[in-house]
Amino acid sequence: KKVLADRMALLGTETAFEVLAKAKKLEAQGMDIVHLEIGEPDFDTPKNIIEAACHALTSGYTHYTPAPGIPEVRETIASYIRNHKNVDASAEEVVIVPGGKPIMFFSIMATVNPGDEVIYPNPGFPIYESVIRFVGGKPVPIPLREENQFRLDVNELAQLITPKTKMLIINSPGNPTGGVLTNEDIKSIADLVRGKEILVLSDEIYDRIVYGDTHPLSIASLPEMKDWTIILDGFSKTYAMTGWRLGYGVMHEEISARIAQLMVNSNSCTSAFTQMAGKEALTGPQNDVDSMVAEFKKRRDLMVNGLNSIPGVSCLLPEGSFYVFPNIKSFGKNSKEIADYLLNEAGVACLGGTAFGSYGEGYLRFSYANSVENIQKALERIETTLKKLR
Ligand code: PLP
């Protein structure tokens, strides 16, 4: 008998964690590494949020909570969604889970049948494809191209929709490219799927980390779209809370009740004091978020200018998130080889574009959620090391 169930062969992974482990190993051997591989803010969680968690711990928030979350925290999130995303959400439509990722896993698990087609961005967050395959769905990638600022092409999307399309996943601002769909794009996507009984999983985890003037539009705010949209959002990126594990989904009650049931079958509930910290994050002062985004913007500009001054590299200026996705096709090697080379020769940890799907070939992903000093050091090392390949 085999130890592992057959279904485990279908499950993928997130390469960032593997590269981090490899980089840590080199560090342990004495090599100096600049970490630009992992997608998390280097800032500490704002103090008011930490204090709220401590206060919750000493006030008895140490027990189980209802599976979909503490009612007052669900209401706080619903109110935030109404005000911030202009989506008329109720507390019953909110499910609180340990991070944004479980919403991906649970919502695909709850809605996608074997053989159902799911359209998802490529290059895109690798867990989408992993979970689609895991439940027996058919992954249908929609390419995000540099020529189109890494936004999906609505005409191309139209070609991919079939009677079997069950779900469309969008992620704006996007990982790994930093691309942001325009409000016109979002409206066209809604026009395309409206009335076709296609669920939209809208991953809006980076929607506060944007550098332009326009506030990203949630597809759920458009006519007839709310009941067909699952919004994925959370606290990891906006409030520098990656290690807390706190996120949520907003969706039709028929689905939110099932995600609550999946929580009963797995986590029981999200940690109580963590949920209370989330309430403070949304209702307390937001100036730490503003200063983080201002700092990210400075680092983005430094990173993009620096990369563009390296012969053979060209990099678009991303409008959101904290990643850049430079084109390195001129070096004539595949992106994983270049990423490995930069780690081993330059001590710069980054990801090859194919860690995010086949359309990521020819690109690298750097996270600039790191200090200006480290970014400068990385840029110098990348330049000297890539020069040797030309
Ligand atoms: N969605 C995208 C596009 C992400 O990049 C990430 C994290 O890297 C997540 C969701 C998950 O975030 P969390 O840490 O809250 O699970």
Cα atoms in the Cβ-side hemisphere of radius 13 Å centred on 86: 9
Q: Is the pLDDT of residue 15 over 90?
A: no
Tell whether 240 and 276 lie within a shared domain.
yes
Residue of 175, 267, 367 with the most ligand 1 atoms within 8 Å of its CB, for mutation: 175
* 309 alpha carbon – ligand 1 mean position (Å): 30
* 247 alpha carbon – ligand 1 mean position (Å): 9
Tell whether 24 and 53 lie within a shared domain.
no
Distances in Å between the alpha carbon of 232 and those of 205, 312, 345? 7, 37, 38
**CATH at 186:** 3.40.640.10
CA angle 301, 304, 307 (to 5 degrees): 140
Per-residue model confidence (pLDDT) at position 292: 96
**CATH at 372:** 3.90.1150.10
Q: Is the pLDDT of residue 291 over 90?
A: yes
Indicate whether 370 belongs to any domain.
Answer: yes
Q: Which atom of ligand 1 is nearest to the CA of 247?
A: 15
Question: How far is 165 from 83, CA to CA, in rounded Å?
Answer: 31
- Peptide bond preceding 163: is omega within 30 degrees of 0, i.e. cis? no
Q: Which atom of ligand 1 is nearest to the CA of 171?
A: 3
Per-residue model confidence (pLDDT) at position 213: 82
Question: How far is 217 from 221, CA to CA, in rounded Å?
Answer: 7
* 100 alpha carbon – ligand 1 mean position (Å): 6
Q: Which residues line ligand 1 (CB under 6 A)?
A: 39, 99-101, 125, 171, 175, 203, 205, 234, 236, 242, 247
* 204 alpha carbon – ligand 1 mean position (Å): 9
Tell whether 179 and 255 lie within a shared domain.
yes
Tell whether 348 and 256 lie within a shared domain.
no
Q: Is residue 141 helix, strand or coil?
A: strand
**CB < 8 Å & 24+ apart, contacts of 130-133:** 130/11, 130/12, 130/13, 131/104, 131/105, 132/108, 133/10, 133/11, 133/12
Q: Is residue 302 helix, strand or coil?
A: helix
What percentage of the chain carries pLDDT values higher than 90? 96
The residue whose CA is least distant from atom 7 of ligand 1 is 39
* 144 alpha carbon – ligand 1 mean position (Å): 19
Cβ atoms within 10 Å, residue 165: 19
Q: Which atom of ligand 1 is nearest to the CA of 246?
A: 15
Cα atoms in the Cβ-side hemisphere of radius 13 Å centred on 235: 30
Q: Are the beta carbons of 199 and 227 closer than 8 angstroms?
A: no
Instruction: Render pLDDT for 133-189 as a digit per residue (tens, 0 to 9).
Output: 999 999 999 999 999 999 999 999 999 999 999 999 999 999 999 999 999 999 999
Tell whether 131 and 170 lie within a shared domain.
yes
Question: How far is 271 from 286, CA to CA, in rounded Å?
Answer: 23
Of 221, 281, 277, nearest in space to 250 by CA: 221
The residue whose CA is least distant from atom 5 of ligand 1 is 175
* 322 alpha carbon – ligand 1 mean position (Å): 12
From the centroid of its chain, how far is CA 172? 9
Indicate whether 323 belongs to any domain.
Answer: yes
* 233 alpha carbon – ligand 1 mean position (Å): 8
Instruction: Render pLDDT for 52-71 as a digit per residue (tens, 0 to 9).
Output: 999 999 999 999 999 999 99
Residues 6+ apart with CB under 8 A from 203: 100, 104, 125, 169, 170, 171, 232
Indicate whether 1 belongs to any domain.
Answer: no
* 385 alpha carbon – ligand 1 mean position (Å): 31
Is the reported ipTM for this assembly greater than 0.90?
Answer: yes
Q: Is the pLDDT of residue 214 over 90?
A: no
What percentage of the chain carries pLDDT values higher than 70? 100
Instruction: Single out the residue in 237, 255, 283 at which a domain terminates.
Output: 283
DSSP 153: P
Q: Which atom of ligand 1 is nearest to the CA of 16?
A: 8
Residue of 95, 125, 274 with the most ligand 1 atoms within 8 Å of its CB, for mutation: 125
Q: Is the pLDDT of residue 390 over 90?
A: no
Q: Which residues, in sequence order, are bridge partners of residue 200? A: 168, 229
SS3 assignment for 346-359: HCEECEEHHHHCHH
Question: How far is 90 from 87, CA to CA, in rounded Å?
Answer: 9
Tell whether 293 and 260 lie within a shared domain.
no
pLDDT band at 40 (very low <50, low <70, confident <90, very high): confident
- Peptide bond preceding 141: is omega within 30 degrees of 0, i.e. cis? no
Q: What does the pLDDT average to over 80-98?
A: 98
Q: Which atom of ligand 1 is nearest to the CA of 14?
A: 8
* 330 alpha carbon – ligand 1 mean position (Å): 31
DSSP 143: E
Q: Is the pLDDT of residue 380 over 90?
A: yes
Distances in Å between the alpha carbon of 186 and those of 221, 226, 265, 349? 10, 13, 35, 34
Tell whether 256 and 237 lie within a shared domain.
yes
* 213 alpha carbon – ligand 1 mean position (Å): 24
Tell whether 173 and 136 lie within a shared domain.
yes
Tell whether 195 and 307 lie within a shared domain.
no
**Which phi and psi angles does 371 have, rounded to 5°?**
-70, 155
Instruction: Single out the residue in 283, 308, 340 at which a domain terminates.
Output: 283
Per-residue model confidence (pLDDT) at position 61: 98
Q: Which atom of ligand 1 is nearest to the CA of 242?
A: 14
Do you know the residue count of the chain? 390
The residue whose CA is least distant from atom 12 of ligand 1 is 100
pLDDT band at 16 (very low <50, low <70, confident <90, very high): confident
Tell whether 186 and 331 lie within a shared domain.
no
Per-residue model confidence (pLDDT) at position 282: 98
Cβ atoms within 10 Å, residue 114: 8
Instruction: Single out the residue in 259, 283, 307 at which a domain terminates.
Output: 283
Mean pLDDT score across all residues of the chain: 96
Tell whether 329 and 304 lie within a shared domain.
yes
Domain extent for 305: 6-45+287-387
Instruction: Provide the H-helix boundaries in the chain.
Output: 15-28, 47-58, 71-85, 101-111, 126-134, 154-160, 183-193, 253-264, 272-283, 287-308, 335-341, 372-387
| Tokens at 135, concatenated | 């439940």
Tell whether 57 and 92 lie within a shared domain.
yes
Provide the number of structural domains found in the chain. Answer: 2
